[in-house]
Amino acid sequence: MSVWDDVVGQERVVNVFRAAAEAARVAVAARGRGGSGAAESVGAGDGSAMTHAWLVTGPPGSGRSVAARAFAAALQCTGEVPGCGECKACRDVLSGAHPDVVRMATEKLLITMDEVKTLIGEAQRRPWTGSWRVILVEDADRMAERTTNVLLKSIEEPPPQTVWILCTPSADDVLPTIRSRCRLVTLRVPPADAVAELLVRRDGAEPELATRAARASQSHIGLARHLATDPGAWERRRRLLLAPISLRSVGDAVLAAADLVDAAETEAAEATAERDAAEKAALLRALGLEDGGRVPPSLRAQVRQLEEDQKRRARRARTDVLDRAMIDLLSFYRDVLAVQLGSDVEQVNIDLSDVVARVAASTGPRQSLARIGAIEECRTRLRSNAAPLLAVEALMVRLRPQA
């Protein structure tokens, strides 16, 4: 085994990180011999495979943070080959227990200035036990511009033994000034087979179920696992995909839209409720207040601020859930279109292939294209903060089977 085992379908990225970890070892050895120090030997522009600042990008679900953590482990590894996955350092990094890998992952909308200052402080320390001080920011896109500027200097001239690893969905999610100081590593959408294999090996999923889940999630690793481990998730997905087919009237379409938006709200609320309560309790404790007690006027602004943040997050969660539903619907009509055109691309919804075949036979490619267009349009409207119910109603009306 090695730390790269769970970095699925990313051979090119793994090779880059492997080479970097090996070059980093050479630099550490030189440092030990009283050489010129790591700063000079691993500079960004000198052609070395190792550098001090990394930007790891890749589409959601492609495994950015898993790849970044594997790289951090390889840097700290004391085994024969960097990233052996068996030495204490490798295991500690992967379990989150290594004192020299500082990981910042947030559920919050924004990483605060205080949090970034803490990280910069951590970056200034020398390693306790490891070879490097690794600062890993998993949601670097959640930084306000002002906050990012504070980070800039530390990324530009880190102490010689410090490595920054920033993760974002795309390189455009950070300021150009940050981007230009980092070496860019881009993950691809992993092949469905590789995702399925991971679900079998790591999560103990049945191979047939794992393949179905990997395809249905379109290789989004987190969603694939969700589908492979939660039968309720399949049922929700199935209901969603079958809903438009059974619509008989505009009235039906309006009801179906309400169902879909309700379900998204419930799912988003379930995902956020527990965290909201914990955050509020923590804030009240920090302010020296009791949960459920009266908040004195002087402290109300802080409590209100938190509640506002939580409301924003709930909206974002609902938008995410609805967007996911749109992607699922898109996949269904793309499957339909593929059958109509006799294309041999892999189907996403293999569990619904009979329904796909039926719809494909009863409509034409022109209709499928119109439906795909309608879904894309609805996605755009949802992202631009249109009233979700209106956008989804308009969509359902257009997806309705035409007599």
Binding site for Zn ion (CB under 5 A): 77, 79, 84, 87, 90
* Shortest distance (Å) from residue 105 CB to Zn ion: 22
- Of 86 and 141, nearer to Zn ion (C-beta) is 86
Residue 80 CB, nearest distance to Zn ion (Å)?
Answer: 8
Q: Residue type at 217?
A: S
CB 257 within 8 A of CB 322: no
Nearest approach, Cβ of 165 to Zn ion (angstroms)? 17
Residue 46 has, within 13 A of its CA and on its CB side, a CA count of 12
98 vs 324, which CB is nearer to Zn ion?
Answer: 98
Tokens found for residue 108 = 């919050």
Q: At its nearest, how many Å lie between Zn ion and the CB of residue 163?
A: 16
As a whole number of angstroms, the distance between CA 227 and CA 207 comes to 13
Nearest distance from C-beta of residue 101 to Zn ion, angstroms? 13
Q: How far is the CB of 201 from Zn ion (least distance, A)?
A: 20
Paired sense of beta strands 53-57 and 183-186, if any? parallel
User: In the complex, what is the shortest distance from the CB of residue 85 to Zn ion, in angstroms, rounded to a whole number?
Assistant: 6
Q: Tell me the longest C-alpha to C-alpha distance in the chain.
A: 81
Distance CA 252, CA 269 (A): 26
Q: Nearest 5°: phi and psi at 185?
A: -125, 125
Q: Between 87 and 303, name the residue whose CB sits nearer to Zn ion.
A: 87
Closest CB to Zn ion among residues 77, 395: 77
The DSSP bridge pattern shows strands 133-137 and 101-104 to be: parallel
Residue 215 CA: distances (Å) to CA of 51, 68, 212, 345, 347: 36, 25, 5, 12, 8
Between 70 and 214, name the residue whose CB sits nearer to Zn ion.
70
Q: Edge-to-edge strand order for the sheet containing 101-104? A: 101-104, 133-137, 162-168, 53-57, 183-186
**Structure-token pair, residue 209:** 């179920």
- Give the C-alpha separation, 89 to 129, whole Å: 9
From the list 365, 314, 328, the residue with the least C-alpha distance to 343 is 365
Give the pairing type, strands 101-104 and 183-186.
Answer: unpaired
Question: Considering the complex, what minimum distance in angstroms separates the CB of residue 314 from Zn ion?
Answer: 41
| Pick from 97, 105, 103, 71: nearest CA to 2 | 71
Compare residues 28 and 317 and give the one whose CB is closer to Zn ion.
Answer: 28
Q: How far is the CB of 81 from Zn ion (least distance, A)?
A: 8
Distance CA 350, CA 212 (A): 7
Rounded CA gap, 121 and 170, in Å? 27
- Of 90 and 228, which CB lies nearer to Zn ion in the complex structure? 90
Residue closer to Zn ion, measured from CB, 84 or 339: 84
* Closest CB to Zn ion among residues 84, 284: 84
